Structure 1
Amino acid sequence: MALGSMTSVQLSLALSADQFDRISPIGAAWLRMAWGGLLLLVPARPRRADFTRAGFRVCVVLGLVSAAMMTFFMLAVARIPLGTASALEFLGPLGVSLYGARGSGLRRWSGLAAAGVVLLTRPWHGGTDLAGIALALGAGACWAGYILLTQRAGDEVDGLKGLAVSLTVAGIASTAVAGPGVIGGLTPSLLAVGLGLAALAPLIPFSLELLALRRLTASSFGTLMSVEPAIAMAMGAVLLGQVPGPTAAIGAACVIGAGIAAVRTGDRTGDRTAAVGPPSGRPATSLPALDDGRAAADRVSG
């Protein structure tokens, strides 16, 4: 599921060059978030009764973080090379991997993944725009929060109802920030293309990541995300004619190996079996600090 998510994202990016030129990268990001919320809100039909107070709050915060993540990253790549921005942004999921790792196993694979990302993106070839670097780091921090919040939303809310709320919130937030400067330049063809690209990203990837985070720990999922630069390299070679060199090939081998190892060592099944689930019968998350926050919220709501 995580691999399917990353493939969908990179395919969407490879098909987005024309849209970026016509309404700017941040405009294209806004259009996707807005369409994504509409596409999922109608079939999922979330109701207030589907959420606890804490669960609804998590979904709202997830939507805001998702919108910020995409906005920061698009602004970063407008200032610094994509490879540099990608390497800096990956510090977010890498931090999740290292923070949640138990013993030396996942830490070792996280280190291998980080080395692979550096080889793939070669950030030393990038610029030194401090604002661009700060924006990419902001996107990485949002990505780390997105992983943790998506796992919590999947544990709190059944099905894709929580994602429907978070994508709707992300669409509203993106509209408030980018919509006024872009809406006037929209055409029927741009709207149609945006609808198709919204299915590839964020609708399909966010849905798959929600399901994946019900099975994987946040730390192993963060490590698995390092496979995405390798997928991007393959998409570039097939669709854009960007054949990788030896350094990129070695980097791809590193991140793929780390991703496979993360999946083999990071299944959440053991955590769920050992843990006592909450009264609702939903699986207990593997994040103790967040569990304490949910318990407190439940006591207040009760």
Structure 2
Amino acid sequence: MLNFKNKPYLHALILLFIAMISMQSSGSLAKILFDQFPILTVSAMRLLLGSVILAVIFRIWRMNIKDVHWSALISYGLALAGMNALFYLSIERLPLGIAVSFEFIGPLSVALFYARQKFDFIWIIFAILGLILLFPFDQTAQSLDPIGIIFALGAGCCWAMYIIFGQKPSGISGNHTVCLGMFIGMCFLMPIALFSGLPLHSFQPENLILFTVLAILASALPFSLEMVALRRLSPFAFGTLTSLEPAIAALSGFIFLHEQLLWTQWLALAVIIGASIGCTYTTQQAKKEVEAKLKK
């Protein structure tokens, strides 16, 4: 049970909710920017400005460059770039909440792959059911773009690799890993954006302000707040709360972009969130059982 008398815990919950709202609201802003700029331009500029902002926040100059494990960091950065670009390509074609739900299968698959518990098959069934329910079976409803689904699933695969590569030792702190990883991802993505037609007016002051706001909402603010929240929340609480992101994304799309979902798709979001929360709970319980056995 949540102890709301514990103010540090309550503050951490509030910070995490702000981080999630910031992250998912950034998707709505990115979608608005697609009307003015190519998608890969939006993605590359977000990574560029996000890496600069985080470098200042986390004081990248204090890092010892000799300690960096470049192979692990490059893999992490490429996964981050792929996750960002493919997600933006998906939300051009899909409602925000649906795209996040398909993408969320990535980290959920990682959790289920490494989990070895009797309830695991239940969460797998829930995840599959959620995916099925996402499709609008009502013929009068607008069908989902198959290319958008492929992009969202690709973003989910990159998210899974982002988690796996992020757990490998990089030789530096987690904060500095994020900064450098984002910069490496930008270095990979920027040439592609330039080749596909990055407009010069992207660097005009008024447009740089828009991209800076996007970078703050999508990277600097949520990453910084999550770092604070993680110090005060258990892995179970953190995993449970972040499982709500598809629903927050759907609400953001509804409020800012007027995106409508069918009741079956709202149910799909609830099922996928339930699978993620259940997986988080059983994984945490199994970890406690293993730790208890080791203490005996």
Q: TM-score if structure 2 supplies the norm length?
A: 0.72
Distance 1:136 1:246, change over 3 A: closer
CA distance in 2, matches of 1:57, 1:173: 15
The gaps in structure 2 that reach 5 residues or longer are: 1-14
Is 2:94–2:145's contact at 8 Å kept on the other side of the alignment? yes
The residue type equivalent to 2:274 in the other structure is G
CA distance in 2, matches of 1:60, 1:6: 26
2:254 aligned partner:
237
1:139 aligned partner:
155
2:217 aligned partner:
200
* 1:126 aligns to 2:140 (yes or no): no
- Aligned residue-pair number: 268
* 1:162 aligns to 2:162 (yes or no): no
CA distance in 2, matches of 1:10, 1:123: 26
Distance 1:120 1:212, change over 3 A: farther
CA distance in 2, matches of 1:115, 1:2: 28
CA distance in 2, matches of 1:58, 1:275: 33
The residue type equivalent to 2:212 in the other structure is L
Is 1:115–1:251's contact at 8 Å kept on the other side of the alignment? yes
CA distance in 1, matches of 2:105, 2:83: 13
1:249 aligned partner:
266
**Residue 237 (structure 1) shift:** 3.0
RMSD: 3.9
SS at match of 2:34: helix
**Residue 272 (structure 1) shift:** 9.6
**CA offsets 1:252-276 (integer angstroms, 9 cap, x no match):** 3323333433443334974995799
CA distance in 1, matches of 2:159, 2:76: 10
Structure 1 residues 1-302: aligned runs within 5 Å: 5-46=19-60, 47-49=62-64, 52-54=67-69, 56-77=70-91, 80-82=93-95, 86=100, 88-120=102-134, 122=136, 125-129=143-147, 135-152=151-168, 157-179=172-194, 181-186=197-202, 187-206=204-223, 216=235, 227-242=244-259, 244-267=261-284, 270=288
SS at match of 1:194: helix
Is 2:63–2:172's contact at 8 Å kept on the other side of the alignment? no
CA distance in 1, matches of 2:122, 2:116: 11
The residue type equivalent to 1:72 in the other structure is L
CA distance in 1, matches of 2:277, 2:109: 18
CA distance in 2, matches of 1:271, 1:190: 53
Highest RCO, 1 vs 2 (Cα 8 Å, sep ≥ 6)? 2
The gaps in structure 1 that reach 5 residues or longer are: 277-302
1:289 aligned partner:
none
Worse-superposed segment, 181-190 or 102-111: 102-111
Distance 1:53 1:28, change over 3 A: closer
CA distance in 2, matches of 1:257, 1:225: 12
CA distance in 1, matches of 2:220, 2:121: 31
Identity of matched residues, %: 29
CA distance in 1, matches of 2:67, 2:234: 22
**CA offsets 1:202-223 (integer angstroms, 9 cap, x no match):** 3334456677599649xx95x9
Is 2:26–2:218's contact at 8 Å kept on the other side of the alignment? yes
Is 2:94–2:144's contact at 8 Å kept on the other side of the alignment? yes
**CA offsets 1:153-190 (integer angstroms, 9 cap, x no match):** 6x964351221111221222222221463251312111
SS at match of 2:167: helix
Is 1:86–1:121's contact at 8 Å kept on the other side of the alignment? no
Distance 1:207 1:121, change over 3 A: farther
SS at match of 1:21: coil
Distance 1:254 1:43, change over 3 A: same
